[in-house]
Amino acid sequence: MKRLVNPSVTRQVIDQFGFHFKKQLGQNFLIDANILGKIVEAAELTEVDGAIEIGPGIGTLTQALAERAGKVVAIEKDDRLIPILSDTLNEYANVSVHHGDVLEIDLPELIAAYLGDRRVSVVANLPYYVTTPILMKLLEERIPLHAIVVMVQKEVAERMAAAPGGKEYGALTIAVQYYSEPHIVCRVPRTAFMPQPNVESIVIQLKLRKKPAVDVISEALFFQVVKASFAQRRKTILNNLQNNFPVSGGRETVLHVLREADIDPMRRGETLSLQEFARLSDQFALLEQGS
């Protein structure tokens, strides 16, 4: 059996099939066995678990997942990789490869059809050009997952795991932490990939929460308030809400709501905790209900 996580085997498979990397599909294949081990370890898979891999490439991580999990479903967009995957994974009876764009696939249907009642995690070396849409799809659509363990661009991982007060803290932080608990697993140098990407990477584990981190009256309103609060990073929360969150009464109403939520109007969005955003959006919700 060909172990792919090795530069010369990867090169050999690529040459054998005459494959050419497509930068626009985020194709940077993993060639570092140590990092591969860390990803699989962080996924905490048991032999009865299910794993969904987004973008299997030539099957490097897929092989390792197949050896740990009960069943692996891999979704690959690039049709040129499908025949390669059927060759490199032909000895794994518990892998099923799907040709398609993960952003268009009906994941609950896929889970029901292939993973049934298994505990399911997403494990992937993500294509970086679509990291945020993929993660938001998994989180916002509340795909029933145990964990998400992904390789992402270093800066994106830092934004997901950020604490209030820093420049990395923003709307992505709030969305990720609302649904999950992030934990940085390890940093990954460019040399771990073929070809080497222009950026550094991080493996991050997101443990899905049973219920969101904060209780809010209206989830839609909560995320609207968050978005408006970060619209212009150097502005105060008062100015951002006044300009980007339309309410009747304008500035006076926003001041009143901030006071009711016990938040200083001169603070910036990046200093507010999830609990404070929840308090703030609940005050707007109460105002809406009262009017």
Output the known binding site for S-adenosyl-L-methionine: 28, 30, 55, 76, 101, 125
Q: Nearer to ligand SAM by C-beta: 103 or 113? A: 103
- Over its C-alpha atoms, the chain yields an Rg (Å, rounded) of 22
Binding positions for ligand SAM, 19-38, rule CB under 6 A: 25-30
- Which of these segments, 49-57, 205-213, 237-245, 247-255, binds ligand SAM (CB under 6 A)? 49-57
Q: Which residue has the tokens 């955003």?
A: 277
Binding positions for ligand SAM, 205-244, rule CB under 6 A: none
Closest residue to bound ligand SAM by CB: 55
Binding positions for ligand SAM, 133-162, rule CB under 6 A: none
**Under 8 Å CB-to-CB from 115, ≥6 apart: which residues?**
50, 52, 71, 73
Helix (H) or strand (E) holding 119: none
Q: Where are the beta strands (DSSP E) in the chain?
A: 29-30, 50-54, 71-76, 95-99, 120-125, 147-153, 180-188, 193-194, 201-208
Instruction: Note whether 57 binds ligand SAM by CB under 6 A.
Output: yes
**Binder of ligand SAM out of 45, 64, 65, 75 (CB under 6 A):** 75
Q: In degrees rounded to 5, what are phi and psi of residue 254?
A: -60, -40
- Paired tokens of 258: 């901030």
Q: Nearer to ligand SAM by C-beta: 166 or 189? A: 189
Binding positions for ligand SAM, 85-144, rule CB under 6 A: 101-103, 125, 127, 130
Q: Is the dihedral of CA 185, 40, 208, 230 positive or negative?
A: positive
Contact residues toward ligand SAM (CB under 6 A) are: 25-30, 54-57, 60-61, 75-78, 81, 101-103, 125, 127, 130
